[in-house]
Structure 1
Amino acid sequence: MSPFFRLKTAAARAANRLRRNQSASAAVEFALVAPLFFALLFAIIETGLVFFASQSLETAVQDSARTIMTGQAQVADYDKQGFKKNVVCPNVSVLFNCTSGIYVDVQNYPSGFGSVTIDDPITDGNFVDRTQYSPGGPCAIVVMRLFYQWPLFVTRLGYNIANLSGGERLLSATAAFKNEPFNGGCP
């Protein structure tokens, strides 16, 4: 028997033993699948958090809009910062940094719902703060919006739901309503 034949036979036996031994195959398969699995898991969690935060912002705008609709904000003579501090911030959840992160936009339209125009707050991938505070009088049409720039983390892994540059998503919530006839009725 030649030395080459013996080497070939020994190599074939070793290969057969390796093929039969599958003790580490699960670990190798998991190592191949784990990064994709965890990326998908974190993307699902982040998407859920974004939807939860968006719903929390919607609830805050509905609760805050009620004080304008009933005339309480007008009687209290709030300015933009006073309305944010006294009405909006108590209504937002712990998910948001109310003092510096929430933007409040309140505009009134005395001539009806047909005159309502809403501008896009995103310009060239950046949030442009054009917010104002004008709650209107009795029976005025009012549109109240809240904005929050939500930071995203999984977007750097290829899953991108950001609509702002810098890996953030602008969350917005809107309420459109007609003020009640407070202080004696409609003009």
Structure 2
Amino acid sequence: MSSSVFSRTSFRELLRRFRRNRRASAALEFALVAPVFFALLFAIIETALMFFANQVLETVTQDSARMIFTGQAQQASTTQAQFATYVCSQIPALFDCNSVFIDVESSASASGVNINSCTDASGNFVSPQYSPGGAGDVVVVQLCYKWPIFVTGLGYNIANLPGSKRLLRASAAFKNEPY
């Protein structure tokens, strides 16, 4: 008997035995599916956490803007640093307060308000403005935060800033009350 015939029959026999043996099939199937499953699971968790953080930032923005809306900041002559401290007192542990961009701009009319971007072309924060306006002025309060993104593999990358970060932005536009 030639060795090529023997190797073909032994290979066929080995393949036939492998198909009949089901002892490790579940482990093998899990090993094939697990990486994709866990990548999808972590991507879903990260996306949900990012949306939750954005909603928290929206709430903090609305609560902080109320101080300007009611005239409390203007009557107390609140400075930019004092307003930032007030905003930071409302921010939960989810954010690093030193990394929150706070911008307050005002105008006598809605058409005069100029909403600037939080970041420049390189993804760095620009210098924030602080102009709470007077009674009856239109004001836009804007908070921005660079949220870190960890699950960027397998073609799922929601980062829109360099360094695997996503810009979260929340704003409140209103007309100051007559105080």
User: Normalised by the size of structure 1, how large is the TM-score?
Assistant: 0.87
CA RMSD in angstroms comes to 1.8
Aligned equivalents of 1:166 and 1:71: distance in 2? 39
User: Are the counterparts in 2 of residues 105 and 145 from structure 1 also a CA contact under 8 Å?
Assistant: yes
TM-superposed deviation, 1:54: 0.3
Aligned position for 1:104 = 102
User: Are the counterparts in 1 of residues 101 and 125 from structure 2 also a CA contact under 8 Å?
Assistant: no
Aligned mate of 2:173, from 160, 176, 183: 176
- In the alignment, does 2:137 pair up with 1:130? no
The residue type equivalent to 2:74 in the other structure is Q
The residue type equivalent to 1:48 in the other structure is A
User: Are the counterparts in 1 of residues 105 and 113 from structure 2 also a CA contact under 8 Å?
Assistant: no
Aligned position for 1:70 = 70
Give structure 2 stretches of 5+ with no counterpart.
Answer: none
Between 1:52-61 and 1:152-161, the stretch displaced more is 152-161
User: Normalised by the size of structure 2, how large is the TM-score?
Assistant: 0.90
User: Are the counterparts in 2 of residues 58 and 173 from structure 1 also a CA contact under 8 Å?
Assistant: yes
Aligned position for 1:158 = 155
TM-superposed deviation, 1:62: 0.3
Give structure 1 stretches of 5+ with no counterpart.
Answer: 183-187
- In the alignment, does 2:28 pair up with 1:28? yes
User: Are the counterparts in 2 of residues 122 and 164 from structure 1 also a CA contact under 8 Å?
Assistant: no
- In the alignment, does 2:78 pair up with 1:81? no
TM-superposed deviation, 1:91: 1.8
% identical equivalent positions: 52
Aligned equivalents of 1:123 and 1:170: distance in 2? 12
User: Are the counterparts in 1 of residues 150 and 164 from structure 2 also a CA contact under 8 Å?
Assistant: yes
Aligned equivalents of 2:92 and 2:60: distance in 1? 8
Aligned equivalents of 1:10 and 1:116: distance in 2? 81
Aligned mate of 1:113, from 110, 117, 120: 110
Q: For the structure 1 residues 37 and 75, does the alpha-carbon distance in structure 2 shift closer, same or farther, using more than 3 Å as the test?
A: same
User: Are the counterparts in 2 of residues 125 and 165 from structure 1 also a CA contact under 8 Å?
Assistant: yes
The count of residues paired between Structure 1 and Structure 2 equals: 178
Aligned equivalents of 1:6 and 1:174: distance in 2? 76
Q: For the structure 1 residues 130 and 32, does the alpha-carbon distance in structure 2 shift closer, same or farther, using more than 3 Å as the test?
A: same
Aligned equivalents of 1:37 and 1:30: distance in 2? 9
